[in-house]
Structure 1
Amino acid sequence: MHDPSNSAAGKFSALRDLATPGRSVAPRLTLVIAALCCVVVTIGAVLWGERYAAQEVEARESLIGHDMVESLDRVLTTVRSQRRDALRELVGQSCAKVAMRLAELETYVQYVRGINLVDHNRLSCSSVFGPMDVPLSAYVPPRDTPETRDIIVNLLAGTPFQPGTPVISMFEPTDIGSGVQYTIEGIYVADALAHGIRYGAQQVILLMPGSGVLNDKGEFTTAIKAPDHVGTRVHSTQWPFSVAVLASDGLVTEMRWKYGLLFAAGAILVNLLIAAIALLALAPHRQLLAAVRRGLRLGQLYVVYQPVVEMATRKIVGVEALIRWTHPRWGTVSPSVFMAQVERSPLLSSVTRFALRTAAADIAQRTDIRPLRVAVNVAPMDLQRKDFVADVLAINHALPSGVTLVLELTERFLLEKQSRTQAVFDTLKANGVLFAIDDFGTQHSNLDLLGRFPFDYVKIDGQFVRQVDKGGAALIKAIAAVAKHFGMEAIAEGVETEAQHAALREVGVPFAQGYLYQRPVRASELFVEPEPHMTTTRL
């Protein structure tokens, strides 16, 4: 349908670059790549948003946890530091003697329910009850009462006097088996933990190794039943406890929406950028197709014909219809610039119909050469169109007597679309349409095609013809012999010299076309002078 021999003489260079193999990307491939990039960006934004939201939730949990740890550190440190020396001086003295002083000192120590003096591993004097005799193990588990002077802190479900009320027991030894024991109200701890709920926590719990856990509601759970992991866990660097914070569903939802919308907006902007880049990349393609569509409507496109001659007589036996385009501003535009893009676009059906109808009308009205074969190139997408067969049959039936329609296809396409192509072959061949395989021997040479598809002609590519008089005759002779074996005729393309003509005739090629005989012209200008002293024959 097109011939790259004509040149735009440097005009419309951007569009030529777009059509140059290796420099351009098929529009569909560009759109597919852009769409895939948009999908990847969208999925990435969703995943990144989810991850960022989870990080922000964890950061909020950590912030609440650090605040709670800081508050509880302050509670324990305050209890230990207030009136510490005065209390330690009372250890080992008679309770009757120091009970009033102990009760007085207890009023200066915040957060405690009571302070007890310990002697011989027994609580002997209480700031609340006075003299008492309770084993230290009721407040400090035996495993935590080694011979050490370190402060021991335990979380208890209750005391012997108030078994159902959780407390924190702090024991500071002054000697082996002696010291000061503080009972810290669990309600103070629970109140401190409850502040975390106000900042978006669903649950805040205090954990002490080997003791248990206390939640923000003041409920105690033994260490055995304590959860292994709740949200984000923050450890105190001063005391043996940690605080675990679990974010509320509301906070999680808020963060997901917040960062989901934020990253979605970012993804939209990136996708718009990708779309803009894709549109810019396709702008020359769209501009070219719009110009072709306009040129088709305004009559800028036309068809010229290059004769196919009989080698023995040089008589015209056929023509190849070639699309040409003369633009009012760009001048003559080479088919190599626009046809490659047209063949990959929906505009192809209109251009193919134009070529078929114009060729049929020109041959019927402007030539009297009979019989005559009219060859029109067919693009890969043409054979996939549902209305292609109907278009061809309509033109074929309208051709005058003595004119035969020939469709030229490339072997590359036949290798890829065998089943569909075979059905088209069968239908059109049954209605008298002939077929030629174009550019045979280049890129995807496959002799098996000649046996699988009912071609009528094999067109030998011009690159082989140019070597026919320089030692390349054997290859062309072989191609012509194979074609003849399958009942086909060979046509040599690109014949430019008398030497090539003579060599082709010598090896038995029956038909040829090229500048030697005539350049592509309008139908009314077709002529070829028969070779002198030869009798005309017709096939």
Structure 2
Amino acid sequence: MRDRLHLTSARLSLFMCIVCGAAIMLVAIIFCEHEANVRVAEREHLIGDDLVQSVDRILDSVSSRRRGDLAALAGKPCSEVGRSLAELETYLRYVRAVALVSGGRLYCSSALGPIDLPLSDYPLSAGHGDSIGLLAQTRYQPGVPVLVIFNRTAPGTGVLSIVEGEYLTDALAHGVRYGAQTASILVRDTGRINARGTFVSASGPPARYAIRVASRKWPFTILVSSSDGFISAMHWKYRIAGLAVGLLLDGLIAAAYLLAFAPRRLLLNAVRQALRRNEFHVVYQPIMETASRELVGVEALLRWQHPKWGAISPASFMEEVESSEMLGPVTQFVMRTAVTEMVQRQPAIPLRIAVNVAPGDLERRGFVAEVEALTAGLPPGITVVLELTERFLLAGSARTTTIFNALKARGVRFAIDDFGTQHSNLDLLGRFQFDYVKIDRQFVSQVDAGGAELIAAIVSVAKHYGVQIIAEGVETESQHAALHAAGVPFVQGYLYQRPVTAEQLAQGVGARSFC
């Protein structure tokens, strides 16, 4: 289960890295799209503010220059003031003509002299002070839009100035040159003019623009929309920036993941290559009968001889192997090699071949078939014993129990390795029909220093469950004697033989003893 948790944790970490990377890219895209829209709006506001100021200057100039002199002429007969009116008009910038108004009618023009037109012909924005309005044309110049400014001096009396629409369109065109698709000036209640000089009345279709910037001085509004090219360029600019930032952050996440998991991946890849290059081999530590010191079995141990780094201890790679997809190939190699070499050399008959397997092996599909195929052709007297590590996890899996029982039915024997180091061993002896219990070396080392009673108790418990004892890690004659006295039937350790190759094992057992 720990192996599965380790593998699940690695996969979950990879999944979370992928999810985080995708989320970062998504957030970067959304954020950059938002920022691009903000920057476009800011640019449109900037253009709108600039255009408002330009039009404000035009209107302020027309409305303020010679205002008092012109106001003094309003209401006086055109015959008396016509010449003065024409002279004052020459001082006004942007203005085509100036007309005096009295009684709600235009009666005197700086360009035409005496006239008689109703003020209502010139639509003006509502208000009691100065008013402005837009016209598509005048009767004297058809097809040319104009802006009119009415400076009231009294009800129905004042000065009406006519501003050429070209001045407005020139200002609006300035905004277009700075990235606006189009810009218009809207005077409420009268109409609007765009940068191309097109007039749309107040009753025409509504204006659809991105930004509206109103003047604080005059009753008009500048309407601005950015060009497609500017919007596209701004979005691509921020997309590229967002992509770069997203890729940078994703790279940091990937680097963190690799720093955490790359050593494991490199190690497992090295194990995979070692299998292909035949860098692995198996050595065997004899298992002796305690009373006769005769060979009755061997424990197969995996060894790795790297061409560059030399001998590599299994402790440095087996933990990672047991929690990876390499567990199956490594276990198959050990079992297949051990069975093949022992059958070929047959150092002793009967012989038990012990192979360490992980709980993950019993969870693998096809494991039963693998073991059955190896044991099917064994000569009489040779038995395979599977030693289970981390045995305290076995009780948590129904599949493990099923596979355990299936292999037992096929003649495979089982041993618990390192017995006594976990609290659940007695429970497992009741749950599973083990054949052997291997007493851990930490108990064997104490057997000649007052620990013999504990060994005797373990032997008694094992007999109760019908299980035989193997003591491992025996290094001294006093330990051997104490184990023999305690009733331990089988032993292994450096006292009898260090792990050797199959050939060395066959050559060294002529006397069936390693004393």
Is this a same-fold pair by TM over 0.5? Answer: yes
Tell me what 1:218 maps to: 199
Cα pair 2:289 2:490 within 8 Å, conserved? yes
Deviations 1:281-307 (A, max 9, x none): 777656655655565455543222234
Cα pair 2:394 2:401 within 8 Å, conserved? no
Change (3 A) 1:294 1:99: same
Quote how far apart the aligned CAs of 1:359 are.
0.9
Instruction: Please point out which of 373, 377, 382 is paired with 2:352.
Output: 373
Deviations 1:4-62 (A, max 9, x none): xxxxxxxxxxxxxxxxxx9xx99867866765565455435433443443344334423
Tell me what 1:88 maps to: 71
Q: 2:18 & 2:289 partners in 1: Cα distance?
A: 52
Give the secondary structure class of the aligned counterpart of 2:348. coil
Instruction: Please point out which of 400, 404, 417 is paired with 1:425.
Output: 404
Quote how far apart the aligned CAs of 1:395 are.
1.6
The residue identity in structure 1 corresponding to 2:319 is A
Instruction: Please point out which of 322, 325, 328 is paired with 2:304.
Output: 325
Quote how far apart the aligned CAs of 1:360 are.
0.8
Uncovered stretches (5+) of structure 1, i.e. residues with no partner? 1-21, 146-150, 533-539
The residue identity in structure 1 corresponding to 2:200 is E
Which has the larger displacement, 468-477 or 52-61? 468-477
Change (3 A) 1:257 1:479: farther
Give the secondary structure class of the aligned counterpart of 1:520. coil
Tell me what 2:281 maps to: 302
Instruction: Please point out which of 193, 199, 204 is paired with 2:172.
Output: 193
Quote how far apart the aligned CAs of 1:222 are.
6.8
Quote how far apart the aligned CAs of 1:490 are.
5.9
Quote how far apart the aligned CAs of 1:135 are.
6.2
Which has the larger displacement, 459-468 or 42-51? 459-468
Whether 2:499 is the aligned partner of 1:520: answer: yes
Uncovered stretches (5+) of structure 2, i.e. residues with no partner? 1-5
Q: Write the mapping of 1:38-187 to structure 2, written as runs, cut at 5 A.
A: 38-40=21-23, 42-106=25-89, 109-112=92-95, 114-117=97-100, 125-127=108-110, 130=114, 132=116, 134=118, 139-140=123-124, 144-145=127-128, 152-155=130-133, 168-173=147-152, 179-184=158-163
Q: Write the mapping of 1:450-461 to structure 2, written as runs, cut at 5 A.
A: 455-457=434-436, 459=438, 461=440
Q: 2:138 & 2:456 partners in 1: Cα distance?
A: 112
Instruction: Please point out which of 413, 431, 456 is paired with 1:434.
Output: 413
Q: Write the mapping of 1:232-243 to structure 2, written as runs, cut at 5 A.
A: 232-236=211-215, 239=218, 241-243=220-222
Q: Write the mapping of 1:376-415 to structure 2, written as runs, cut at 5 A.
A: 376-379=355-358, 382-383=361-362, 386-411=365-390, 414=393
RMSD of aligned residue pairs (Cα, Å): 5.2
Cα pair 2:70 2:88 within 8 Å, conserved? yes
Provide the identity percentage: 49
Q: 1:484 & 1:181 partners in 2: Cα distance?
A: 123
How many residues align? The count is: 500
Instruction: Please point out which of 235, 239, 263 is paired with 1:260.
Output: 239
Change (3 A) 1:89 1:461: farther
Quote how far apart the aligned CAs of 1:358 are.
1.8
Cα pair 2:98 2:161 within 8 Å, conserved? yes
Give the secondary structure class of the aligned counterpart of 1:521. coil
Which has the larger displacement, 410-419 or 343-352? 410-419
Whether 2:323 is the aligned partner of 1:340: answer: no
Structure number with greater CO (CA < 8 Å, separation at least 6) is 1
Tell me what 1:14 maps to: none
Which has the larger displacement, 217-226 or 471-480? 471-480
Q: 1:294 & 1:111 partners in 2: Cα distance?
A: 88
Q: Write the mapping of 1:442-521 to structure 2, written as runs, cut at 5 A.
A: 455-457=434-436, 459=438, 461-462=440-441, 477=457, 481=461, 493-494=472-473, 513-515=492-494, 518-521=497-500
Change (3 A) 1:51 1:312: farther
- TM (norm. structure 1) is 0.69
Quote how far apart the aligned CAs of 1:402 are.
1.6
